[in-house]
Amino acid sequence: MTDRILIFFAKLKAVFGQSKDDTAFSEEVNAHLDLLSEQFERQGMSPAEATQAARRQFGNLTLLTQRRKEARTTMFFSNLARDLKYGVRQLVKTPVFTIVCVLTLALGVGANTAVFSVMHAVLMKMLPVHDASKVVYVHTTGFPAGAHNTGDEATSFSYATYRELREHSGLEEVIGFIPMSSSGKAPVRVGTAPEEAAGDMVSGNYFSGLGVGVELGRGFVQKDEDDHAATTVISENFWTTHYSRNPNVIGKTLFIKSHPFTIVGVAAKRFEGTEGRLPLDFWIPLQSHPDFNAWGNPAEDGTYLTIPQFWCMRLMARIPAGVSTDQALAKAQGIFQQAAYLGIAQKRAGERIPQLSFLPAKQFDSQDDTFARSLKTLMAMVGLVLLIAICNVVMLLMSRNANRQREFSIRLALGAGRRVIARQLLTESFLLVSLGGAAAWIFALAATRALGAWARIDSNLQPDSVVLWFTLAILLLLAIVFGLAPLRAAMSSGPDMALRSSAAASQTTSQKTRAGNVIIVTQVAMCVTLLVGAGLLLGTLRNLMNIPLGQKTEGVLVFGVHPQHVKSKEESIAFFVNLQQRLRSIPGVESVSFASNRPGSGWSSNNGGLLVDGHKPNGAEPEQAYYRQNNVGSDFFRTMGVPIAQGRDFSDADSSSATQVVIVNETFAKKYLGTLNAAGHILTNTRGLHPRLIIGVVKDHKYTGITEEPRPMRWVVFTQGDLENQLDVEMRVKGDPMQMLPTVRTFMQQIDPDMPLLEPMAQSEVFQQSISQQIMFARLAGCFGVLAIILIATGLYGTLSYRVSKRSAEIGVRMALGAQRSQIVWMVLRGSLLLTAIGVAIGIPFAMAATMGLKNSLYGVKPLDLTSYLVAIVGVAVVALTASGLPARRAGSVDPSSALRAD
């Protein structure tokens, strides 16, 4: 065995420096011959005789040299080099074929890599923390009645619950973190320019508990949390972008919400926080200052630390070693269900007690099922695209290699082994797949970036090693398939083929045609499926885009303003009223208003409990009267372009000291007042307190997003509501709202240089983003549909052209025997139409089954939408006709005499 290995290495070494060995060997042999002839001369031969005798005794020098060449190194490499050279020559000789194959592979494999990469990052990748299998996200089914929450219900806990779980649940670590604001970002300042950065306020064990290291400095310690220390750890990315990776960054000051924080560490490179799609820039320990209340909420009545009913904190936990997740959960459940009611006077009868659950510590906390489903559907779609692409390349390869049958038979006739030909084909296939794979990888990198942007995911989705292996596995499989598929065709031609005329050889065997037919039919069937799916999703997109918003969002600019150092309600009102006045003075601004929840962003205040004129609201239980609310500024409905059905809009006269007023929508009026004439009635809370006069009824319009159903909704002017420390400015301007942005930015900087504009956007864009996932989904599906159609077209065209060219002799005979041009054209067309029809017939049930899975992603379209099916069928038929038209015409123009003379 060792001998074999030694020989292999010796041969491997000899691959290099072959010519050196040649010279050395010839020198050695010449020396030998000289010595030998000298000896013969000494024995009395003449020099000429001696040389001859020496050669005779030495043996066949040429043969010996050749043997040596073969023996000294492994033939594998030199053969491979030869095969490669030949393969490259083949590819270069047929540039169109090569380009079509490489592009097809790039699109097919690239699309799969990109979608898989996103799917892997979103659904499978674990957080880069120590022993991630022991780390979990903590979820709850809700919060107890009497508490209130900010953030997602499933991931919000009160500070009191956090403390209790941490101390008594038996979990190794309980880690808490709170976003800085509803957008996750907060104003920060490194040098002089203010900007927004994403950050979390975290417990002292955040880094140590998760097991995340640091590039520099240190993570937090418990003392940081206990002292609410003004320290911060920044992300590796923030360190790079804002401090150019300066190692002296430790000890520098970062201003967050105008408060100075000392940088104590830089987090490990791959760690981007625990907020899923939003990569974080910094972390600070849990703070007690009112400016740092959870989610940036105003702290009028206290902060998250002091209000036990305020559910706002996200939790993760580390399961102790040797304890199963279920055991740990069971233990924590009891503690949690007691702790949840801390600060709540008493449990309501029949109340559903919140349940704790643990979810694996993936990069993305899996709450968003729709996205996961969309991704899986996309994966299925790109899978189909890949299959179609494979079929295409296989067909192209088969027809090209069938053209080379003569070459193969000549090679066989000249003594090439079948193994040699198989190796040649595999080499060519590997070459093709390598080219396609390289192009696919480049395409995938760009496509992943685009996918991330469309899905509004900022965190890193770029392909990692797992994705690379996935792609390489696909490519390897393809290389083997592509190498072996044409093998049979190549082998079937024995050496005798070389002797036959091409006309005789052109007779296609029915077996070979059948294989091609099966592929075409499969392709058409898959194409129909993809097209139906794409049609349904595009229909959904059309429906979504055409949903009336009930308001004129065009020409409205929106941006958030968070005044620093506003402590009281009076200060806040004074600031915003002043701001409104000043913004109105900008030329080109038609009207200015405010909203505490940005319409279209998905955020909403959901409240419940009211009386109408002191009575039950239209027969409903007062506690059960749920509604959504938004606190807004004067001129709100004029600014937003919402028609007022009755009464009036808020005006500057609705100040904090004036009559408390409210505006409701039509659904509210109908549901809780039983009439659209609601103006003049008075709303109070369930105890009859805080009366508000209804001054207007507005038409129903969309609030949280495009797909929401009309719900009871009311608006309160912010001067008469709770303290607002951050409002969105809604600004109706002439022309493109984004054009106005620079002017507004300079204007705002004059008011306060430390105050960035938060997420400035066109209001119409905000609503668009509420369906960005559906838009992305539909667009991609449309792209894949088009891609499939193009692939089918090239595939059909290639195959039919090839068949026609092979049958030109037969067609010539037919024409010579009196067949009409039209008959020949029809003969070719009929063949492809028949195949298309069979493909469609198989594809439709397949599509029906597939689209059932799409059901949940559709809006206003049924899975069995007739139009989508018809369009798909007609589309495939038209493409099939077009793709076969050219070859058919060519068949019709075969000149019988030249076709028959060809051989």
Partner 1 sequence: MPTDKSEVLQGTLDLMILKTLHALGPLHGFGIARRIEQLSEDVLTLNEGTVYTSLLRLQQKNWIASEWGQSENNRRARFYNITRRGLKQLALETENWERISAVISRVLALEVKA
Residue 423: CB minimum distance to partner 1, A: 24
The one-character DSSP state at 255 is E
Which of 578-581's residues contact partners 24+ apart within 8 Å by CB, and which partners? Answer: 579/729, 579/751, 580/633, 580/634
Query: Binders of partner 1 among 625-654, rule CB under 8 A?
Result: none
Out of 29, 323, 819, 827, the residue judged to bind partner 1 by CB under 8 A: 29
Out of 17, 34, 246, 624, the residue judged to bind partner 1 by CB under 8 A: 34
Residue 83: CB minimum distance to partner 1, A: 25
Out of 15, 22, 25, 517, the residue judged to bind partner 1 by CB under 8 A: 25
Q: With respect to partner 1, which residue has the nearer C-beta, 34 or 570?
A: 34
- Quick check: 792 and 523 in contact, CB under 8 A? yes
CA–CA separation, 381 vs 534, rounded Å? Answer: 9
Q: With respect to partner 1, which residue has the nearer C-beta, 37 or 836?
A: 37
Vertex 683, ends 682 and 688: CA angle to 5°?
105
Q: With respect to partner 1, which residue has the nearer C-beta, 45 or 790?
A: 45
Contact segment (CB under 8 A) with partner 1 among 28-36, 158-166, 280-288, 334-342 equals 28-36
Contact segment (CB under 8 A) with partner 1 among 32-40, 111-119, 663-671, 779-787 equals 32-40
- Quick check: 144 and 345 in contact, CB under 8 A? no
Residue 420: CB minimum distance to partner 1, A: 25
The one-character DSSP state at 614 is T
Instruction: Report residue 15 CA to chain centroid gap.
Output: 46
Q: DSSP 3-state assignment of 139?
A: strand
Residue 67: CB minimum distance to partner 1, A: 6
Residue 419: CB minimum distance to partner 1, A: 24
**CA-closest candidate to residue 71, choices 32, 28, 18:** 18
Q: With respect to partner 1, which residue has the nearer C-beta, 42 or 419?
A: 42
Q: For residue 64, state whether it binds partner 1 (rule: CB under 8 A).
A: yes
In the stretch 804-823, what mask flags binding to partner 1 with x, by CB under 8 A?
--------------------
In the stretch 395-434, what mask flags binding to partner 1 with x, by CB under 8 A?
----------------------------------------
Out of 16, 20, 35, 89, the residue judged to bind partner 1 by CB under 8 A: 35
Query: Binders of partner 1 among 38-57, rule CB under 8 A?
Result: 38, 57
- CB within 8 Å of 756: residues ≥ 6 apart: 187, 194, 195, 196
Cα dihedral sign for 785, 789, 790, 795? positive
Q: DSSP 3-state assignment of 313?
A: strand
In the beta sheet, which residues pair with residue 592? 731
Contact segment (CB under 8 A) with partner 1 among 62-70, 372-380, 663-671, 675-683 equals 62-70
Q: For residue 58, state whether it binds partner 1 (rule: CB under 8 A).
A: yes
- Quick check: 664 and 714 in contact, CB under 8 A? yes
Q: With respect to partner 1, which residue has the nearer C-beta, 64 or 878?
A: 64
Q: With respect to partner 1, which residue has the nearer C-beta, 42 or 93?
A: 42
**CA-closest candidate to residue 266, choices 235, 245, 237:** 235
Q: For residue 61, state whether it binds partner 1 (rule: CB under 8 A).
A: yes
Q: With respect to partner 1, which residue has the nearer C-beta, 26 or 46?
A: 26
Residue 71: CB minimum distance to partner 1, A: 6
Vertex 562, ends 561 and 566: CA angle to 5°?
135
Out of 16, 31, 80, 494, the residue judged to bind partner 1 by CB under 8 A: 31
Contact segment (CB under 8 A) with partner 1 among 61-69, 691-699, 714-722, 753-761 equals 61-69
Q: For residue 227, state whether it binds partner 1 (rule: CB under 8 A).
A: no
Contact segment (CB under 8 A) with partner 1 among 35-43, 291-299, 699-707, 847-855 equals 35-43
Q: Which two tokens stand for residue 301?
A: 């009545």
Out of 17, 18, 26, 32, the residue judged to bind partner 1 by CB under 8 A: 32
Q: Which amino acid is at 562?
A: H
Q: With respect to partner 1, which residue has the nearer C-beta, 30 or 246?
A: 30
Q: With respect to partner 1, which residue has the nearer C-beta, 6 or 442?
A: 6
Residue 19: CB minimum distance to partner 1, A: 16
Report how far apart, in Å, the C-alpha atoms of 567 and of each of 76, 305, 307, 474, 842 are: 80, 18, 18, 61, 69
Q: How many residues bind partner 1 (CB under 8 A)?
A: 26
CA–CA separation, 407 vs 113, rounded Å? Answer: 37
Residue 54: CB minimum distance to partner 1, A: 9
Residue 798: CB minimum distance to partner 1, A: 49
Would strands 605-608 and 626-632 be described as parallel, antiparallel, or unpaired?
antiparallel
Q: For residue 75, state whether it binds partner 1 (rule: CB under 8 A).
A: no
Q: With respect to partner 1, which residue has the nearer C-beta, 10 or 330?
A: 10
Q: Which two tokens stand for residue 519?
A: 């592929």
Report how far apart, in Å, the C-alpha atoms of 347 and of each of 310, 344, 532, 833 are: 16, 8, 53, 72
Q: For residue 446, state whether it binds partner 1 (rule: CB under 8 A).
A: no
Out of 18, 24, 326, 456, the residue judged to bind partner 1 by CB under 8 A: 24
Helix (H) or strand (E) holding 160: helix 159-168
In the beta sheet, which residues pair with residue 627? 607
Compute how many other C-beta atoms are within 10 angstroms of the C-beta atom of residue 794.
17
CA–CA separation, 547 vs 242, rounded Å? Answer: 43
Q: Which amino acid is at 3?
A: D
The one-character DSSP state at 317 is E
Q: With respect to partner 1, which residue has the nearer C-beta, 1 or 817?
A: 1
Contact segment (CB under 8 A) with partner 1 among 34-42, 405-413, 596-604, 883-891 equals 34-42
CA–CA separation, 662 vs 660, rounded Å? Answer: 7
Q: With respect to partner 1, which residue has the nearer C-beta, 74 or 337?
A: 74
- CB within 8 Å of 528: residues ≥ 6 apart: 839, 840, 843, 844, 846, 847, 872, 873, 876
Q: For residue 28, state whether it binds partner 1 (rule: CB under 8 A).
A: yes
The upper half-sphere exposure of residue 789, i.e. CA atoms within 13 Å in the direction of its Cβ, equals: 21
In the beta sheet, which residues pair with residue 758? 560
Q: For residue 60, state whether it binds partner 1 (rule: CB under 8 A).
A: yes
Out of 18, 26, 46, 67, the residue judged to bind partner 1 by CB under 8 A: 67
Q: For residue 18, state whether it binds partner 1 (rule: CB under 8 A).
A: no
Residue 17: CB minimum distance to partner 1, A: 14
Would you tell me which residues interact with partner 1 (CB under 8 A)? 3, 6-7, 10-11, 24-25, 27-29, 31-32, 34-36, 38, 57-61, 64, 67-68, 71-72
